[in-house]
Structure 1
Amino acid sequence: MEKVIKIVLAILFFLCLLDMPYSYFETVRFVAMVAFGYLAYVEHKQENQGLMVAYIVLALLFQPFFKIALGRSLWNVVDVVVAVGLVASIFYKLKSEKTD
């Protein structure tokens, strides 16, 4: 389930690079907040405090209620970095599962 959430989020973040209506960005922020909250909960259950804190920070960054004004170009950088990090975390988790 976490893999699917991470892939969907990564796709949503990459689509933010396109010229989309503002309502798309608002929807992405809300979906990201909920998804990162869920991922933080999963990491808490697995007692991985580092990733849990990272997902909480990302949920707070993307939350739609108190918007953080970074500007379009900086938000594009954030979207790409987070999307690449999500995809990398899938491969990292797969690699660590194979070695266990």
Structure 2
Amino acid sequence: MYTSVIIKLILSILFLICLFQLPYGYYEFVRFAALVGFAWLGYRAYQKGNFKAAFVYGALALLFQPLLKIALGRTLWNIVDVLVAVGLLASLFLGTEKSKN
């Protein structure tokens, strides 16, 4: 299976689980996983010459990074989590990446 597909699926699941009331440590883990996952996706997109996708993944890595937290409030973070999860899943079904990772 493709690495990017696995990363997108895992991140989507993690973001959707964020909709539940969980310990704060889970959200910290998701932020770290998102940073690593989006950095990898951005790197792969850049290697393939897809600079728009690389920019989007880089921006998402910065949004979710755990060091300098962006305080959006729980409701807004839930909206962001759902939008990003849906975007990641849509990118899988729309076939935005055609080659092997």
User: Structure 1: any 5+ residue segments left out of the alignment?
Assistant: none
Name the SS for the 2:36 alignment partner: helix
User: Structure 2: any 5+ residue segments left out of the alignment?
Assistant: none
Once the 2 structures are TM-superposed, how far is the Cα of residue 92 of structure 1 from its aligned partner?
Answer: 1.1
Q: Which amino acid aligns with 2:19?
A: L
Q: Which amino acid aligns with 2:89?
A: V
Q: What do you get for the CA RMSD once the two structures are aligned?
A: 1.1
Structure having the higher helix fraction is: 1
Please tell me whether residue 82 in structure 1 is matched to residue 84 in structure 2.
yes
Distance in 2 separating the partners of 1:77 and 1:43: 25
Q: Cα deviation per residue 1:7-66 (whole Å; 9 max; x = unaligned)?
A: 000000000000110000000000000000000000001000000000000000000000
- Mapping 1:1-100, distance limit 5 Å: 1-93=3-95, 97=98
Q: Percent identity?
A: 51
Q: Which amino acid aligns with 1:2?
A: S
**Which 4+ residue blocks in structure 1 deviate beyond 4 angstroms?**
none
TM, length-normalised to structure 2: 0.92
TM, length-normalised to structure 1: 0.93
Paired positions, count: 96
Q: Relative to structure 2, which stretch is displaced further, 85-94 or 29-38?
A: 85-94
Distance in 1 separating the partners of 2:37 and 2:6: 11
Name the SS for the 2:66 alignment partner: coil
